[in-house]
Amino acid sequence: MTEPIDDATGIAEARSLGKFSGEDFDSHLRSRERAERAEFLTRARSSETAAGQSGGLVYPTEDIAGLKRELELLRGFRLTVVRSKGWKVVQALRRLVGRAWIGYD
């Protein structure tokens, strides 16, 4: 375990090391985001080019499959919430004041 820093020079040194560490982390994060953005734009341009050649929109099949999986997960989550006892209690209380969410029972 590290010892607490008591002197002013030690505190200043720790601050500067923390600052440099944070700046280093930030620069790595920014470079990773730049690379991801460039990759996304490259994929978007290639799909636009393919869409222009075929006359319509072209979606990569792995993206559609991922979206379908995510949609199924969200649908399952919604059903779980709507069927929960807590949801039913809240809706019963909301009905008392005329504020129930219709269609979500």
Does one domain contain both 32 and 73?
no
pTM higher than 0.75 for the full model?
no
Give the model confidence (pLDDT) of 44-81 as tens digits. 887 766 656 655 555 666 678 888 889 999 999 999 99
52, 69: one domain: no
- Asked whether residue 25 falls in the same domain as residue 50, the answer is yes
Both 40 and 89 in one domain: the answer is no
**10 lies in the same domain as 32:** yes
d(CA 52, CA 48): 6
Handedness of CA 92, 103, 66, 28 (dihedral sign): negative
Our count of domains for the chain comes to 2
Residues 102, 79 share a domain:
yes
What is the tens place of the pLDDT at every residue in 2-44?
666 678 788 888 888 888 898 999 899 999 999 999 888 888 8
87 close to 105: Cβ distance less than 8 angstroms: no
What tokens does 56 get? Answer: 């319509």
